[in-house]
Amino acid sequence: MSDAGADIRREALISNADPSDFWALMKPRVMSLVVFTALVGMLIAPGNIHPVIGFIAILAIALGGGASGALNMWYDADIDQVMRRTANRPIPGGRVSGEEAKIFGLLLSFFSVMVLGLATNWLAGGLLAFTIFFYVVIYTMGLKRSTAQNIVIGGAAGAFPPVIGWAAVTGSIAIEPIVLFLIIFLWTPPHFWALALVKNEDYTRAGVPMLPVVAGEAATRRQILIYTILLTLSAFAPVALGFGHWLYLATGVIGSAMMLRWSWMILRAATPESDRKACWSMFGGSILYLFALFAALLVERIVFLALPLLARLTGVGA
Amino acid sequence: MSESKPEGIILTPEEKARRQRRSRAIALSVVGLVVLFYVITIFKMGPAILARPM
């Protein structure tokens, strides 16, 4: 066999992967947001779940998120290869083969759904399975390459975790998790379009029809403002419905004001430098905004859960 | 006895080290899964796991 032939055969047979590459396939940063929002959905739900079962449920939801990430990277390896931001991911970097990533993602999907279904209930398990399906088949294989509305509709996949968390505890779905779903759903477009404006060149080269590529930058800036207004309105729904209180309200007011300011700065940016700055502020700030809103709900819930216990311990109100 | 020349693909030390790390990660995952199913069984069924007709 020629040297070149031997090299090709060698590459096909020998895995170059390190366990850390499989960890990277799971998109750990996205997974952390999935875990956090699912945890909030779980904790604000009425009813009890054993802490150990709750922990296992969160683990399963995290693994389901990781499975989606791995399958997304398997399918999108051709796009990732030509984009600077993603060129060093495990598959385009040559450390993990597409086949390895696909099998890894499928195995993770199967076990995460099974574990969640067995540990909690099959509504939660089914919702997790649907989320993985939606992200991989509907978004990655379908919308991402075919429409400028890709991340608007695809954002639903990222919005499911709090609904799954709620369903894991109650076995049902109610208005509260739907509101949390709506907040994440409306949060996704301004967050990713801010990135798309900065990385417009990358997306154009990769042939991904992101809004700035298809409709132009001016239209994208207007859309960012519109979605930010809708998002900030929906952010107050928990207060209107009575499951967000003072801390949440304060966080919502301050955070929403900043989000509106960033989206206005993006609309009005006069120079490329100020434009870049505004887009990065929106991209990073919107993560903080979502995190702060959910953290406020979490803190309020923990305080409300702890109050009766404190009252009992101190004898106040007895 | 003559020493035979190894056939097929020979792994470099780095490739061997990676394979070992992958094998360890797979072993840990399998053990983790066993523990997970055990814990789920115990916490879902609780003491009822012992209450079966003899």
- Compute CA distances A191 → A82, A224, A274, A300, B32, whole Å: 22, 8, 17, 26, 36
Task: Read off the pLDDT band of A314 (50, 70, 90).
Answer: confident
Average pLDDT of the segment spanning A301-307: 89
- Looking at the structure, tell me whether residues A94 and A198 fall in a common domain: no
Q: Hey, which residues 1-40 in chain B have their CB within 8 Å of chain A?
A: 9, 11, 15, 18-19, 21-22, 24-25, 33, 36-37, 39-40
pLDDT at A272: 82
Give the one of B11, B15, B40 whose C-beta lies nearest to A119's C-beta: B40
pLDDT at A279: 95
| pLDDT of A300 strictly over 50 | yes
CB A197 within 8 A of CB A279: yes
- Looking at the structure, tell me whether residues A223 and A137 fall in a common domain: no
Q: Count how many domains chain A has.
A: 2
- Looking at the structure, tell me whether residues A146 and A291 fall in a common domain: no
Query: DSSP letter at A123?
Result: H
Q: What is the CATH number of the domain that holds A103?
A: 1.10.357.140
pLDDT at A318: 46
| pLDDT of B41 strictly over 80 | yes
Q: How far apart are the first and last CA of chain B?
A: 64
pLDDT digits (tens, 9 = 90+) for A141-174: 999 999 999 999 989 999 999 999 999 999 999 9
- Looking at the structure, tell me whether residues A133 and A251 fall in a common domain: no
Cβ of B44 within 8 Å of Cβ of A118? The answer is: yes
- Looking at the structure, tell me whether residues A221 and A184 fall in a common domain: yes
Q: How far apart are CA A15 and CA A13, in angstroms?
A: 7
pLDDT digits (tens, 9 = 90+) for A86-102: 999 999 999 999 999 99
Interface ipTM: 0.80
Q: Searching chain A, which residue's CA lies closest to the CA of residue B35?
A: A56
The answer to whether residue A224 sits within a structural domain is: yes
pLDDT at A13: 73
The answer to whether residue A298 sits within a structural domain is: yes
Domain-terminating residue out of A111, A143, A173: A173
Q: Which domain holds residue A203?
A: 175-308
| pLDDT of A117 strictly over 90 | yes
Domain-terminating residue out of A140, A173, A206: A173
pLDDT digits (tens, 9 = 90+) for A1-13: 456 666 666 666 7
Task: Read off the pLDDT band of B3 (50, 70, 90).
Answer: low
Q: Searching chain B, which residue's CA lies closest to the CA of residue A18?
A: B18
* % pLDDT > 70, chain A: 95
The answer to whether residue A4 sits within a structural domain is: no
Handedness of CA A61, A66, A67, A69 (dihedral sign): positive
- Looking at the structure, tell me whether residues A26 and A106 fall in a common domain: yes
Domain-terminating residue out of A173, A196, A224: A173
CA B38 to chain centre: 16
Q: How far apart are CA A137 and CA A75, in angstroms?
A: 10
- Looking at the structure, tell me whether residues A62 and A149 fall in a common domain: yes
Tell me the two tokens of residue B29: 């995952």
Name the minimum distance, in Å, from the CA of B27 to any CA of chain A: 12
Residues 6+ apart with CB under 8 A from A54: A42, A168, A169
- Looking at the structure, tell me whether residues A128 and A194 fall in a common domain: no
Cβ of B9 within 8 Å of Cβ of A52? The answer is: no
Q: Is A149 exposed, middle or buried (0-12, 13-18, 19+ CB in 10 A)?
A: middle
Give the one of B18, B21, B36 whose C-beta lies nearest to A56's C-beta: B36
Cβ of B21 within 8 Å of Cβ of A9? The answer is: no
Residues 6+ apart with CB under 8 A from A36: A291, A294, A295
The answer to whether residue A2 sits within a structural domain is: no
- Looking at the structure, tell me whether residues A123 and A182 fall in a common domain: no
Q: What is the mean pLDDT of chain A?
A: 92
pLDDT at A9: 65
Nearest to A102 by CA among A126, A72, A78: A72
The answer to whether residue A32 sits within a structural domain is: yes
Name the minimum distance, in Å, from the CA of B40 to any CA of chain A: 6
HSE (side-chain half, CA atoms, 13 Å) at A85: 11
Domain boundaries, chain B: 13-47
CB A168 within 8 A of CB A124: yes
- Looking at the structure, tell me whether residues A213 and A158 fall in a common domain: no
CB-CB neighbors (< 8 A) of B9 in chain A = 9-10, 13-14
The answer to whether residue A301 sits within a structural domain is: yes
